[in-house]
Amino acid sequence: MGEKELYGGLVRLHVLHHASHEPVFGQGLMDELAHHGYRLSPGTLYPILHGLEKSGQLKSTVEKAGKTSRRTYVATAAGRKALRAAKVRVRELFRELFEEELPHGLLEGAMRDRRTTREKGEKL
């Protein structure tokens, strides 16, 4: 399995994460993902966006500005639900990958603090 296949799920999670917070568009996502070390071409990113839309996790609209237009994507309720479920699995994987490197209890304490903050309705 190559890097492309290995990181494909992580790219999808990044897309859903950002699209859950605000409308996103192709070039903006490519720039954001490059910031995290993912160098994607339009030929890689757009099929991912189209696949997430086809599966009902993203919804797109076309915004027109003069003679130009831009397709933006937002996460649907199904996409936000999938992201929440994925966060649980990513947290479990993170624990397994780094359990020997993290001081005992550090990750659990951080996760507990995040839950407490959310329960109080505070922004992270």
Q: What's the pLDDT score for residue 102?
A: 66
Tokens representing 15?
A: 């897309």
Q: What tens digit of pLDDT does each residue of 5-36 get?
A: 778 899 999 999 999 999 999 999 999 999 99
Four-way CATH pick for 3-76: 1.10.10.10, 1.20.140.10, 3.40.50.300, 3.40.50.620:
1.10.10.10
pLDDT at 114 over 70: no
Comparing 107 with 64, the larger pLDDT belongs to 64
Closest Cα partner for 44 from 57, 29, 59? 29
Partners of 47 in the β-ladder: none
> What digits encode the pLDDT tens for the residues 41-98?
999 999 999 999 999 999 999 988 888 899 999 999 999 999 999 999 999 988 888 8
Contact 31, 42 (CB under 8 A): no
Look up tokens 């605000």; give the residue. 22
pLDDT at position 123 over 50: no
pTM: 0.76
pLDDT at position 23: 96
Q: What is the pLDDT of residue 108?
A: 60
What pLDDT score does 28 carry? Answer: 95
**pLDDT higher than 70, residue 119:** no
Q: In the chain, where are the structural domains located?
A: 3-76, 80-119
| Confidence tier at 118 by pLDDT (50, 70, 90) | very low
Long-range contacts, 69-77 (Cβ 8 Å, 24+): 70/25, 71/25, 71/26, 72/23, 72/24, 72/25, 73/15, 73/19, 73/23, 73/24, 73/25, 73/49, 74/19, 74/22, 74/23, 74/24, 75/16, 75/19, 75/20
